[in-house]
């Protein structure tokens, strides 16, 4: 079926790869952003089956934790409450003193349609299936769905060398000369195969068709 003809997905299922250990048990006591609590230590504990997937992460100073805010989801009726009216335009924590409402997609508010969080942490150490980090804005036990490393060339729009402290942020293998100088824009099918994806299964090549025959 051509991509344009495929109906959009109505539901997906995600499985946590691990969880975080922090000092926080209550939503109201948990810091609102890692940038406002950058020095506090936490720990990421992955399922044993994903330990090898941490190889190379120690070469990065920072990483994004993509998490499911399960306690917010629980407190919000397990996602049964419809998002409508004021729930689409909450009052951000930093605007509580004014009462100003903003669209939820223009905020980092925890109550959102899929209860996802993006937490930027500083990587301190990687040991086996655990990552020690600094910068805590998550409740203890929060499920982690994915980890993505932070690299200034990829994550800071317009970044160029000479941008102060960012020049000293370690970006792991992305900063190897052979990777940094690579002008690649699109992966191609060989790139997808190297990443572990069979492109022919995901996007099969349309069968060849004979040109239409002309009437005699």
Q: CA 23, CA 138: separation in Å to the nearest integer?
A: 9
Q: What is the pLDDT of residue 4?
A: 65
DSSP assignments along 74-121, one per residue:
HHTTTTTS---GGGGS---GGGTTTT----GGGS--S-STT-EEEEEE
Mean pLDDT within 135-153: 97
pLDDT of 85 over the 90 cut: yes
pLDDT of 36 over the 70 cut: yes
Q: Which residue has the higher pLDDT, 101 or 1?
A: 101
Q: What is the pLDDT of residue 165?
A: 87
What percent of the chain has a predicted confidence (pLDDT) above 70? Answer: 91
CB atoms within 10 A of CB 152: 21
In CATH terms, the superfamily for domain 14-78+115-174 is YaeB-like (2.40.30.70)
Where along the chain do its domains lie? 14-78+115-174, 80-105
Q: What is the pLDDT of residue 74?
A: 96
CB atoms within 10 A of CB 128: 10
């Amino acid at each position: 079926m051509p991509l344009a003809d495929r109906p959009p997905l109505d539901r997906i299922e995600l499985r946590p790869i691990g969880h975080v250990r922090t000092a926080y048990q209550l939503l109201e006591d948990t810091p609102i952003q890692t940038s406002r609590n950058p020095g506090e230590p936490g720990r990421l504990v992955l399922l044993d089956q994903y330990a090898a997937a941490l190889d190379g992460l120690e070469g990065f100073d920072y990483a994004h934790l993509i998490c499911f805010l399960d306690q917010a989801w629980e407190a919000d009726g397990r996602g049964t409450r419809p998002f409508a009216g004021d729930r689409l335009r909450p009052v951000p924590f930093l605007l509580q003193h004014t009462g100003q409402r903003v669209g939820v997609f223009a905020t980092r508010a925890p109550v959102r349609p899929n209860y996802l969080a993006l937490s930027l942490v500083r990587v301190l150490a990687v040991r086996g299936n655990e990552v020690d980090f600094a910068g805590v804005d998550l409740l203890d036990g929060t499920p982690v769905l994915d980890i993505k490393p932070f690299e200034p060339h990829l994550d800071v729009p317009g970044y160029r060398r000479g941008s102060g402290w960012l020049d000293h942020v370690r970006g792991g293998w992305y900063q190897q000369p052979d990777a940094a100088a690579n002008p690649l824009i699109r992966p191609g099918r060989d790139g997808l195969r190297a990443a572990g994806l069979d492109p022919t299964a995901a996007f099969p090549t349309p069968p060849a068709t004979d040109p239409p025959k002309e009437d005699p």
